[in-house]
Amino acid sequence: MNMEYLPELLKGLGTTLELTLVSLLTGLVLAILFTIVLSLKVKALTWLVKLQILLFTGTPLLIQIFLIYYGPAQFDLIKDSVIWPLLSKPWFCAMLALALNSAAYSTLLFKGAIDAVPRSDWEACMALGMTHKQALLKVILPHAARRALPAYGNEIILVMKGSSLASTITLMDLMGYAARLNAQTYDTLTVFTMAGLIYLAMTGVLTLLIRFMEHKVLAFSRT
Amino acid sequence: MGLTALFAEATVMTLGLALSSLALGLLMAITFSLAELSRFKPLALTTSTIVAVLRGLPEILVIFFVYFGSTHAIFLLTDEFVEVSPFLAGTIALSLIYSAYASQTLRGAFMAIPRGQTEAASALGISKVRCFFRITLPQSWRHALPGLGNQWLVLLKDTALVALIGVHDLLLQAKMTAASTYEPFTWYGIAALIYLAITLISQNILERMKLRSNRHLTSSQSKMETSTESAVTSSEATA
């Protein structure tokens, strides 16, 4: 195996990690907002959130990235506006697409977890004289987290893998460097194997981190 | 212009690719899941490793690896430059990805069949192979269907990636039309809506298949229960 490719590939690692982290956090904030909207049944916003979920879970991520990156250029109105400098940056567009995509899937997950907490848990809390806030923070959310956390761990890995698609809109992440090295050297098997190993290492580390997090957060549910 | 015809053709290409990957993927998934359940440990371990690797890699890397890698491998072996068809490479890559996830679902479904079933079959003198195809597989279908259905939806969306290796699918058609008309938003939007329509139709068919696969359990009084239950599980699993 030719080791000289490694430094070149690792140049893209920073972008991949940064993109993953920022999109995950943005997606998480959005997902929490969306879940609140859905749980509280805010009338005007509910259908908007549902539409967002439908659009972003029903179409390929790659199209979402293309749509956000290439799409706005069609309208002069957007081109003249103040957001254009942001929307013409591949990094921002990839981040936005990943965040919105992750938000849609995470909202489904969080809403499902909250709905899965039995009604009787609420009633038991009320019977014990807890306030609404106490019940939510001490009983309902921890139990919902127990259901949501393992699935959210999957989502983290999916976003990390999805960030590789940013290379299609000229962003030089790990995949971007791998594709360029492949085009320069034609040493396909070596280059992609090395890139693959780096991705696998990231998946492995993330999986361990998520396990550790679950262990900490779910400490209450062990006997 | 005939843009409608072009988009229809591209949609057929996307569907064809997705369906052939599904067929090949299911076959591989059954093989993988049986290998993982095998008592011969080295085989089980190797298969688990392959599955873990496939699940840990970005889909685009797997597709590039199969497409560019196969040409490279053929070149190294025979010193000849053979261009592999993008459709074939795409199908193999997508079915590999599908089978990595589906094999886990199938493994769970096979294990959900009580041991007594296979024991009863062997007591009746039914051979192992026959028992698998006639007793285990049909019964596990019900358990596997929700998971396999969700993975089909994922596969459908992953087919968009093969546009990057030059398969003339929906996304590539949208890209070409967007470039020639300078209307990227319109054409990528239309492609996205076609994907959405296929997804919604698939979901509808899957819902019916799920009801059908559970019909022996669905008495008239519990009908409501199962339908709401399956709605919950499906939304969970897509997430």
Average pLDDT of the residues of chain B: 87
Average pLDDT of the residues of chain A: 89
Mutate: best of B7, B72, B150, B162, partner A, most A CBs <10 A: B72
Q: pLDDT tens digit string along B34-70?
A: 999 888 989 999 999 999 999 999 999 999 999 999 9
Nearest CA in chain A to B200: A58
CB distance A192–B69 less than 8 Å?
Answer: yes
Mutate: best of A156, A181, A192, partner B, most B CBs <10 A: A192
Instruction: Grade residue A34 by pLDDT with cuts at 50, 70 and 90.
Output: very high
Is pLDDT above 90 for B215? no
CB distance A60–B73 less than 8 Å?
Answer: no
Domain span at residue B31? Answer: 3-170
Whole-number pLDDT of residue A215: 84
Q: pLDDT tens digit string along A75-104?
A: 888 888 888 888 888 999 999 999 999 999
Residue B191 lies in a domain: no
Percentage of chain B surpassing pLDDT 70?
90
Contacts of B160 in chain A (CB under 8 A): 60, 62-63
Percentage of chain B surpassing pLDDT 90?
62
- Tokens at residue B150, please? 């969700």
Using a CB–CB cutoff of 8 Å, tell me whether A61 touches chain B: yes
Whole-number pLDDT of residue B220: 55
Number of cross-chain residue pairs from A and B with Cβ atoms under 8 Å apart: 134
Of A1-10, B3-12, B41-50, B121-130, least confident by mean pLDDT is A1-10
Q: How far apart are CA A42 and CA A162, in angstroms?
A: 31
Using a CB–CB cutoff of 8 Å, tell me whether A109 touches chain B: yes
Q: H/E/C letters for each residue in A96-152? A: HHHHHHHHHHHHHHHHHHHHHCCHHHHHHHHHCCCCHHHHHHHHHHHHHHHHHHHHH
Using a CB–CB cutoff of 8 Å, tell me whether A206 touches chain B: no
Specify the pTM: 0.87
CB distance B57–A196 less than 8 Å?
Answer: yes
Residue A5 lies in a domain: no
Is pLDDT above 90 for B190? yes
Q: How far apart are CA A26 and CA B228, in angstroms?
A: 32
Total count of domains within chain B = 1
Contacts of B175 in chain A (CB under 8 A): 66
Contacts of A178 in chain B (CB under 8 A): 61, 64
Q: How far apart are CA B140 and CA B110, in angstroms?
A: 6
CATH number at residue A182: 1.10.3720.10
Percentage of chain A surpassing pLDDT 90?
51
CATH number at residue B123: 1.10.3720.10
Using a CB–CB cutoff of 8 Å, tell me whether A191 touches chain B: no
Whole-number pLDDT of residue B47: 93
Whole-number pLDDT of residue B5: 87
Whole-number pLDDT of residue A1: 57
Partner-chain residue, chosen from B61, B171, B192, that has the shortest CB–CB distance to A199: B61
Is pLDDT above 70 for A223? no
CB distance A199–B59 less than 8 Å?
Answer: no
- How far A131 CA lies from chain B's nearest CA (Å)? 29
Which is higher by pLDDT, A74 or A197?
A197
Residue A1 lies in a domain: no
Q: How far apart are CA A196 and CA B53, in angstroms?
A: 9
Residue B148 lies in a domain: yes
Residue B181 lies in a domain: no
Instruction: Grade residue A114 by pLDDT with cuts at 50, 70 and 90.
Output: confident
Region A116-140 average pLDDT: 87
CB distance A54–B196 less than 8 Å?
Answer: yes
Is pLDDT above 90 for A2? no
Total count of domains within chain A = 1
Is pLDDT above 50 for B132? yes
Whole-number pLDDT of residue A76: 82
Region B223-229 average pLDDT: 48
Residue B85 lies in a domain: yes
Residue A4 lies in a domain: no
CB distance A59–B71 less than 8 Å?
Answer: no
Domain span at residue A181? Answer: 11-221
Cβ density class B26-58: b for 16+ within 10 Å, e for less: bebbbebbbbbeeeeeeeeeebbebbebbbbbb
Region B75-88 average pLDDT: 87
Contacts of A187 in chain B (CB under 8 A): 72
Residue A2 lies in a domain: no
Mutate: best of A62, A154, A180, partner B, most B CBs <10 A: A62
